[in-house]
Amino acid sequence: MKTCLVLQRKLRWDISALASAHQGQPLPTTLSVMESTPQVRGMHTIIRNKETNRDEFIFYSKRLMRLLIEHALSFLPLKPVSVETPQGGTYEGKRLSGKRITGVSILRAGETMEQALMAVCKDIRLGKILIQTNHDTGEPE
């Protein structure tokens, strides 16, 4: 039990060190931060409030996950396409350039976003990856 407590403290320290590692450094150009709109701030407020009940927490967490997935999808390559409307007109739109999208979740961490991904992307393929932690070093294997 004592070893477990020591590893938890080490892990907490490692996470806080990682979180502050970027301070004073420029952020990567490939990093995109979702805009903190009043709607997003409102959901964060509900999720972080200790008075929020379980159902509201789940509802707003799922809603925020779907918005995050929509944001990520905006970076996929699209190609122009013309379609005929039911009224006989032509609509100039966009379609995914690739064949299909595959989502990969990290077991015990990323699985929470699977349902939101499936709600946003029809017929998506899902894969899973497991990253284990070495209990002696606290490092991923």
Distances 126 to 97, 99, 122 between C-alpha atoms, Å: 19, 15, 12
> E strands of the chain, at which residues?
78-84, 90-96, 102-106, 125-129
pLDDT at 3: 47
pLDDT cut 70: percent of the chain above it: 83
What are the structural domain ranges in the chain? 36-130
pTM of the model: 0.69
| pLDDT tens-place string over residues 15-61 | 566 566 667 778 788 888 888 899 999 999 999 999 999 999 999 99
Report residue 69 as tokens.
Answer: 């997935």
Note the CATH number of domain 36-130.
Answer: 3.40.50.2020
